[in-house]
Amino acid sequence: MKGYLLLSVIKMLLVFTVLMVGVALLTLMERKVSAWMQNRRGPNRVGPAGLLQPAADGLKNILKEETFPVLANRWLFLLAPALSFIPALLLFAVIPFGAPLPVDFDFTLGPLGRFVHHGPMPLVVADLPIGFLFVLAISSMGVYGIALAGWASNSKYALLGGLRACAQMVSYEVPMGLSLIPVLLLSGNVSLSAIIHEQQLGLWYVLPLFLSFFIFFISGFAETNRLPFDLPEAESELIAGYHTEYSAMKFSFFFIAEYSNVVTVCAMVTTLFFGGWDIPFTHWDESGGVLQSLATSGLFFLKVMFWIFFVMWIRWTLPRFRYDQLMALGWKVLLPLALAYIMVICVAIYAINRYTGWTDPVMRGLGLFGLNVLIAVLVFGLLDRNVFVRGSARQRRALQARAQRAPVVT
C-alpha cells in the first residue's frame, strides 16, 4: 500500500512538473508558430532561441501589481482563477501516457515503514474506471471559473465575455459528450486504458469513427476557447473578455488554465482516436519493459505535440466566428450530426454482429472505416456552404425568382 502511495506521489509530481513546464513552453511555442506563419522570427532575445522567454514572462507577472476593481466582488474575484486552474490540471490525472512500467522494490525507510511494489505500474496518475466521463465532468467545471471571473469583475467587457463563455461551453459540451458515445459503443468501456487496449487490438478509432473525432476536436476547440471559437476573450470586441480586469499572476492562472486545457484536449484526442501511447503496426510495445515504457511515452508526447501544433495552426489560420454562427454550428450542425452518427454506428455495429461473422477487431474496424468514408464524403459535401448551411436550394431559387421579378435596388 505504501509502495503504491509512493509511486502515486512520484507520478503526480512528474505529471504536474511536466505539465507546468510544458504549458510555459507552449506559450513560447504559440508565439513562435504565429511568428513563423507570418514570416517573422518570434521571441529570440531571452536565452538561446528565446527559450527563457516563459521564465521572463512568469517573473514579470509575479512582480506586477495585483489590481482589484473597486466594486468587484473580492472573494469571487479571487476564487475565479483558482476555479479555472484546478480543473484544468485535474484532467490530466486520468490520461495514460505510456506503457506500464515494471517496478520492483522492497525497502524499509526508518519510521515510515516498509515500501513494497511488484509488477507493472500503469503510467497514469489515476486509472479511473469512469475514464473519459471524469474528463467530461471535470472539464465542464472550468466554465465556473470563467463565468465567475466575468461576473465578479463588475465590468461590462468581462461580463459579456463570461456570458459568451457560459453559453458557448454549455452548447459545445453536448456534441462533445455525444461524439464520445460511438467510442463507448465500439470499445465497450469508458476507461481510457481499456480504450487504448481496444485500439491496440484493432484499428485506431480515427478510422472507424472519423466523424466522432471531427466533432470531438471541433468541440474541443470551443471548450478551450481557442480561435476560431475565442469569443469569450475576443480582443477586438471585448478587450480581453472575462479576464479583462485581472492582472499579474491571477491573469497568468487563466492563461495556464487555457493552455493546460489545450494539452488535455490534445491528449484526449490522441488517447481516444489515435491509439494513445500505442506504437502502430507492432506488438513490441505491449510486451512490457522499461524501454517500451520510454518509447511509448515518447510517441505519446510526439502525438500530443502534433495536435497542439495543429491547434495553433488552426488558430493562426482561421478567423473568429460570429456569435450566431457559433451557436448555429453547435446546435444545428454538430448536435444533429452527433446524434445521427450514434444511430448509424449503432446500426452498423448491430449489422456487423448479426450478419457478418467478423470477430477480428481489425476486420470490424475496416468495415466501419468503409462506412465512414461514405459518411465523410456525404457530410463534407452536404455541409459545405452552398448546399446546406447557406440555405436550401429551394430558398435560393425562390430568391432568384423574386430577384428577376423585382428590379434590383442597390
Residues 158-187 that bind another protein (CB under 8 A): none
- How many residues sit in the footprint of another protein (CB under 8 A)? 30
Nearer to another protein, 17 or 317 (CB): 317
Q: What is the CA radius of gyration of the chain?
A: 24
In the complex, the smallest distance separating the C-beta of residue 402 from another protein, rounded to whole angstroms, is 7
Residues 82-141 that bind another protein (CB under 8 A): none
Asked if residue 5 binds another protein (CB under 8 A), the reply is: no
Nearer to another protein, 317 or 356 (CB): 317
Beta-bridge partners for 115: 107
In the complex, the smallest distance separating the C-beta of residue 42 from another protein, rounded to whole angstroms, is 9
Query: What is the C-alpha to C-alpha distance for residues 298 and 148, in angstroms, rounded to an integer?
Result: 38
Residues 27-56 that bind another protein (CB under 8 A): 33, 36-41
Residues 362-401 that bind another protein (CB under 8 A): 380, 383-386, 389-390, 396, 399-400
Rounded to the nearest 10 degrees, the angle between the axes of helix 210-223 and helix 248-273 is 180
Q: What number of other Cβ atoms are within 10 A of residue 187's Cβ?
A: 23
Nearer to another protein, 80 or 335 (CB): 335
In the complex, the smallest distance separating the C-beta of residue 333 from another protein, rounded to whole angstroms, is 11
Asked if residue 282 binds another protein (CB under 8 A), the reply is: no
CA distances (Å), origin 377, targets 214, 332, 369: 13, 19, 12
Reply yes or no: is the peptide bond before residue 129 cis, omega within 30 of 0: no
Nearer to another protein, 43 or 150 (CB): 43
In the complex, the smallest distance separating the C-beta of residue 331 from another protein, rounded to whole angstroms, is 17
Report residue 80 as a C-alpha cell: 475565479
Q: Are 143 and 154 in contact (CB under 8 A)?
A: no
Query: CB-based burial of residue 20 (10 Å sphere; 0-12 exposed, 13-18 middle, 19+ buried)?
Result: middle
Q: Are 312 and 29 in contact (CB under 8 A)?
A: yes
Q: Are 311 and 266 in contact (CB under 8 A)?
A: yes
The site map against another protein for 289-318 (x = CB under 8 A) is: ------------------------xx-xxx
Report residue 282 as a C-alpha cell: 507492432
Nearer to another protein, 16 or 323 (CB): 323
Query: What is the C-alpha to C-alpha distance for residues 312 and 406, in angstroms, rounded to an integer?
Result: 48
Which of 187, 190, 181, 218 is CA-nearest to residue 204?
187
In the complex, the smallest distance separating the C-beta of residue 38 from another protein, rounded to whole angstroms, is 7
Nearer to another protein, 354 or 385 (CB): 385
In the complex, the smallest distance separating the C-beta of residue 285 from another protein, rounded to whole angstroms, is 30
The site map against another protein for 315-334 (x = CB under 8 A) is: -xxx----------------
Nearer to another protein, 17 or 400 (CB): 400
DSSP state of 319: P
Query: What is the C-alpha to C-alpha distance for residues 398 and 388, in angstroms, rounded to an integer?
Result: 16
The type of residue at 404 is Q
Asked if residue 402 binds another protein (CB under 8 A), the reply is: yes
Residues that bind another protein (CB under 8 A): 33, 36-41, 313-314, 316-318, 380, 383-386, 389-390, 396, 399-400, 402-403, 405-410
